[in-house]
Structures are given as structure tokens and as C-alpha cells.
Amino acid sequence: MSARCQLTGAQPGFGNNISHSHRRTSRRFDPNIQSKRYWLPSEGRRVRLTLSAKAIKTIDVIGVEAAVARIRARGVKV
């Protein structure tokens, strides 16, 4: 599963670990990605979405139909 949110487009950020001696090594800041299934009434089927925790909360507010419309507007297949 890729570390990319289908709704918000959140993806890993990159930076450095800095040790006590101040040596820097590369690291990733991964978003909190979850796989979640929703019932899509307009199509009469379930859809599995790869979402960040923030996007799950957004779907609770705007609804799954509006969220799927936004995802499709971004050009992502659902």
C-alpha cells in the first residue's frame, strides 16, 4: 500500500534524524494512512479507499458521496 492519501494527497515528507553528536541521517515522515471501506449508495457497492486519518474525519463531515466526487476530480480511479 502506497503512503499516499486518495482524498487529500498527503504523502511522505523527508528530513533528517539528528543524533546527539549532531550527525544527520535521512528519514521519512509518513502520513497516518489507513485502508477503509465505505458503502457508496449511488452505485450500490462498497469502495475501499486509502485515506489519511485527517481524510477519514473529513469524510465524516462532508459525506462519502462528496468525498468520492473530489477523489475522481483529482483523476484517481475509485
CB within 8 Å of 1: residues ≥ 6 apart:
33, 35, 50
Q: How confident is the model at residue 6 (pLDDT cuts 50, 70, 90)?
A: very high
pTM of the model: 0.86
Cell numbers representing residue 51 in the block = 485515506
Tell me the mean pLDDT in the region 22-47: 96
**How confident is the model at residue 1, as a pLDDT?**
60
**How confident is the model at residue 46, as a pLDDT?**
97
Q: What is the pLDDT of residues 14-24, one digit of tens each?
A: 999 999 999 99
Give the strand pairing for 24-29 and 13-18: antiparallel
Q: What is the pLDDT of residues 22-32, one digit of tens each?
A: 999 999 999 99
Q: In the chain, where do the E strands start and end? A: 13-18, 24-29, 33-40, 45-52
CA 16 to chain centre: 23
